[in-house]
Structure 1
Amino acid sequence: MAATFTTDPLAAPVRSWAQRLGPAVEAEFAPDAQVFQELLDPGSLLNSVHSVCAVVLVRLDDWLGEDEPRALDEFSAAVRGFAAWRRIPLVVQLCPSPSVSGDDPWAERLTAELAGLSGVHVLGVDSWDGGLPVADPHDPARLRIAHIPYTKDGYTALGACAMRSVHALHALLAKPPSRYSPSTVTTPCGTGWTTGVRSEDELAGVVEIVEPVGVVCAITPITRPTAVVVFKALTALKTCNPIIFPSTTRPWKAARKPRRSCATPRSGPAPHRTACSG
């Protein structure tokens, strides 16, 4: 774990949350304000062969005395290089700054630049407290004396957020492969998948899955048998559900040809064809 500020008060909360959450990792801290060195130096703590997850805590006010746009660009380049070299999860936690009361354009820019980077998870300022309410986390006196920007409660909340993120990533990497992996999802329609994994939140460990409900019994009216059969058959085909059409003798002749076409489609994967019967 590396940060742009002093991390000594963070050690006790992090180890306490590690014992509560139970991840099979031990937290180690890099020297204070050595974020760039930790990301770029092959011999640093974050680049150690024993590291299974890296956490970087960024307080943008620590870069106010420098050329902030240049610092953000250099940080983004360092994160990209680390992600390409180490191939381990990297959590970038944006920490609160007293100079920012609302939306921070620099934080939004950094989040946009690192979005979509494989293995890199950027957590915004709105999630820094780990769900623990903290009225005012800033401590100007300790910041001026020892570059300790937060109160005891602020460091406790920050440690909870960091360790919950590490715990979620550890659980995600340790779980067995899911039968709903992207390689096994089914029929595509338009620009997305109709079944399989719809969305996945790696840090929260939540996977939203869409799957068939089973056999569908459809009613065929005698007034519009052909249109209804085609529409319901295509809907069932899209959602990978088998469908049964009970019909009387009168609309059977009109609906028989569309039924045969749906029962033996010329396109689409064979294991997910929709079976139609009368």
Structure 2
Amino acid sequence: MTSGATDRLVVSATFTADLLNDVANFLAHDVGVPAGFTIAPYGQVFQQLLDPMSVLRQNNKSANVVCIRWIDLVQHASTETDYVNAAREIAAALTGFAHTVPCTVLICPQHDMAAFAQSATAHLETALRNVKNVQLIFASSVFDAYGVDQPYDQRGDKTGHIPYTAEAFAAIGTWLLRQYHAHSRTPLKMVAVDCDNTLWSGVVGEDGAEGIVIDDGAIALQARLAALAEAGVIIALLSKNQAADVDTVFSTRADMRLRPEHILDRTVNWQSKAENLSALAAKYAVGHDAIAFLDDNPIECAEMRSRLPAVQTIEIPKNRENLPSFVDNLWVLDHTATTHEDRKRIQMYQENVARNDSQNAAVSFADFLAGLELEIDIHCVNKDSIDRVSQLTQRTNQFNINLKRLSVDDLRHAPEEVYSVSVRDRFGDYGIVGAMSGHVDNSVYKVDLFLLSCRALGKGVEHKMLAHLGARALGFGCTELIVDYTEGPRNQPAKYFLEASFSRSVMSGQLPSTDPSVLADLTFEPTETALSMPVPKNVTSDKKNFADAYQFIADKLTTGAAIVGAFSAGRRARPELGIPFMAPSTNIERNLSAIWEEVLNVTPIGVGDDFQDLGGKSIHLVRIHSLMAERFGYALDLVTLFAVSTVKQLAVRIGDNVGGTTKVDARASDRAAKMKTARTHNRRRMSRRETA
């Protein structure tokens, strides 16, 4: 995610979902995670899914969310058939178009008809099982993860179709933004982790391997790291210790969840951890912004932040009782779905180290390449390669001619030829490392996509790719080949290659061209300068370091209540209203002011401050109504709330009852409701007369 960008997820719900904006605004403005929500028009889920011009269907940048509560779709129907029919309609709407961005279908719980709701959900699960870019999630599991035991707000549901509490909406919003952030940030490639008081409790040099404690926090962290290793992320030990002591822990402690096979590298010495990590990054050609560093020592963390500022440095909490929760909420360790190449990545890293050793031992670079026994296969993208090619377009920044980011669906419906490029040598299989595409326009062959992973760069693979496209252009009878080049912050290697191949300078926005016959005969002539192959930048000014945000979230935002408490504590200051501040003078005024401050997230609020001037909207009135009924027992109707504009006026309507414990006469509420109904009928009669 680029610094300063604010991507907005589109949310369409069968109920009022505006409270999601509270947590989104807090995470964006106060925590530093730049993403938010665009709430689609209320109650228009089917319209959003069926209309190609809807805000949801037009979203091609971030992600979509569809929140479904079955009872909202069946309304007063009460049979299982009604629920299943609603599920069929939703399934048809969700599968009736290609999802170009990820879509989360959130099944939200309800009080009644639970068995019927389960039948509807089961039908929808089956219908969506093989739909690309769509996942079905249960909001109840999100509530469990964030400790929301009582998610329902029955009063809010009845008065404003807001079925859940602020804590429940905070949990949903945080979870949704967390999932999106994992997809949109720089992919995690390496975790460098300390040992003493991090992977275990205690100091092995003092306590011995038998004396250290594998506590709940250690188990949680080690299990998370083991899962990352199995997904292809490098796990490296970075410890100031005696190497033999650390080795003894791993060889003798059967309760360790992190095993030797999970650890690709270990640097255990007394040198600077920043220097050691920099060497590891160079060894495995990993950019610093794709590395997380975990350590309990604040001094080590401070040095790492100072010397390697792009690394995501996280300080492990001193209180080990908090560590399981901290690990569960540590966004930097989140990892998205993996491809076959990801699962083989550790083996690939090991093979690449062997290649580097062979290169260092070779007399010349040409001798090294000759000994590689390189094999390059180019094939049309198919169902087995399409996921990996899409992933390459999302991740490849350096050797990428125009930085196009393509979804699986984009590739599936691409009008032009799309090719995958696989490479292997005597050390092992690189897997699919490149992609390219082109199309014919009269006598011109235009290259739309051309990218290659850095680990295959500089060995002649890129030359073979361009020669293949030149031959394709000749096969179509084209007399010119042009390349759609767009300059980005990191794709200079692609530019240099094009300039060398086309024998001319390349500028962004221009279309460098040449005779395809020249490219069809293109071959790689290795020189000693080819030894300096491009590696990822380690100072990434175009990327934001989110370590402070990750630290704060894992420390503080672990439950729905904690999230609400955090953004309530950071309330906006009272705006300049043009009137003097008047403090509450009675118990009821103080109680009402406190509720207004909580709902409007403004402090302080005077008894004469106008509700709309404070930013109040109808959705806030529904929350105020629910909180008043919950905390003070007021059975106050919404008609009265809509009629007043200040705390002072509201206190007068209620009656200044000390402590705020006397309920309003229900008959008054009934009369107000009847008056509102009568006014509505009168307006309708007048309208019919005017029409007649």
- Give the corresponding residue for 1:14: 24
2:83 equivalent in structure 1: 68
Q: Which stretch shifts more, 99-108 or 120-129? A: 99-108
Inter-partner Cα distance in structure 2 for 1:112 and 1:56:
17
| Residue identity in the other structure for 1:119 | N
> For the Cα contact (< 8 Å) 1:94–1:128, is it kept in 2?
no
Matched, 1:168 2:182: yes
Q: Taking structure 1 as reference, are residues 40 and 167 closer, same or farther at Cα in structure 2, changes over 3 Å only?
A: same
AA paired with 1:22? V
Q: Distance in 1 between matches of 2:156 and 2:131?
A: 35
SS at match of 1:11: helix
CA-CA distance at 1:21 after TM superposition: 6.4
- Is this contact kept in 1: 2:47–2:54, CA < 8 A? yes
Q: Which residue of 2 aligns with 1:149?
A: 163
Q: Does 1:91 align with 2:104?
A: yes
For residue 209 of structure 1, what is the amino acid of its counterpart? Answer: R
Task: Give distance in 1, aligned partners of 2:113 and 2:83.
Answer: 14
Task: With the length of structure 1 as denominator, give the TM-score of the two structures.
Answer: 0.59
* Deviation sequence 1:150-170 (CA, Å, 0-9, x none): 111111112112212222232
Say which of 131, 135, 139 aligns to 2:145: 131
Native 8 Å contact 1:138 1:151 kept in 2: yes
Contact between 2:87 and 2:121, CA under 8 Å: does it hold in 1? no
Whole-angstrom distance in 1 between the partners of 2:144 and 2:27: 11
CA distance in 1, matches of 2:25, 2:144: 15
1:79 alignment partner in structure 2: 94
Q: CA deviation at 1:108?
A: 2.4
Q: Which amino acid aligns with 1:75?
A: I
Cα 1:198/1:141, change in 2 over 3 Å: same
- Partners in 2 of 1:272 and 1:35 — Cα distance? 53
**Could you say what secondary structure the match of 1:81 adopts?**
coil
d(CA) in 2 for partners of 1:140 and 1:8?
Answer: 17
| C-alpha separation in 1, matches of 2:166 and 2:59 | 32
**Residues 73 and 271 of structure 1: CA distance in aligned 2, closer, same or farther (over 3 Å):** farther
Distance 1:136 1:94 in 2: 17
SS at match of 1:55: strand
Deviation at 1:59, TM superposition (A): 1.3
Give the whole-Å Cα distance in 2 for the aligned partners of 1:272 and 1:97: 57
- 8 Å CA contact 1:129, 1:160 repeated in 2: no
CA–CA distance in structure 1, aligned partners of residues 104 and 93 of structure 2: 14
User: 2-side partners of 1:70 and 1:116: how far apart?
Assistant: 20
Match of 1:205 in 2: 336
Between the aligned partners of 2:347 and 2:158, the Cα distance in structure 1 is 60
Shift, 1:31, TM fit: 1.0
Residue pairs, 1:124-273, within 5 angstroms: 124-129=138-143, 131-171=145-185, 175=187, 204-205=335-336, 207=338, 209-210=343-344, 212=347, 271=426
Please, which runs of 5 or more residues in structure 1 have no aligned partner?
A: 178-196, 216-268, 274-278
How far off its partner does 1:62 sit?
A: 1.4
Cα distance 1:205–1:104, how it changes in 2: closer, same or farther (>3 A)? same
Q: Which of 88, 107, 129 is the matching residue for 2:121? A: 107
Tell me how far apart the structure 1 counterparts of residues 39 and 187 of structure 2 sit (CA, whole Å): 27
- Which of the two has greater helix per residue? 2
Q: Pick from 45, 50, 67: which aligns with 1:57?
A: 67
Q: Indicate which of 53, 74, 79 corresponds to 1:43.
A: 53
Partner in structure 1 of residue 266 of structure 2? none
Q: Which runs of 5+ in 2 are unaligned?
A: 1-10, 190-228, 233-333, 352-423, 429-692
Partner of 1:120: 134
| Contact 2:84–2:123 (CA under 8 A) maintained in structure 1 | no
Alignment coverage as a number of residue pairs: 194
RMSD: 3.3
Contact 1:129 / 1:161 at 8 angstroms: preserved in 2?
Answer: no
Aligned-pair distance for 1:272?
A: 6.9
C-alpha change, 1:70 and 1:270, in structure 2 (3 Å) is same
Distance 2:144 2:23 in 1: 12
Q: CA deviation at 1:37?
A: 0.6
Paired residues of 2:91 and 2:124 also in contact (CA < 8 A) = yes
| TM-aligned CA deviation for residue 100 of structure 1 | 6.2
When residues 14 and 176 of structure 1 are mapped into structure 2, their CA distance, relative to the original with a 3 A threshold, is: closer
Alignment-mate amino acid for residue 137 of structure 2: L
Post-superposition, which runs of at least 4 consecutive aligned residues in structure 1 deviate over 4 A?
100-103, 174-177, 197-200, 210-215, 269-273
**CA contact 1:92–1:121 (8 Å) conserved in 2:** yes
Aligned to 2:95, what secondary structure does the other structure show?
helix
Which entry has the higher C-alpha Rg, 1 or 2?
2
Question: Residues 57 and 17 from structure 1, CA distance in 2 versus in 1: closer, same or farther, beyond 3 angstroms?
Answer: farther
Q: Is the 8 A contact 1:52 1:88 kept in 2?
A: yes
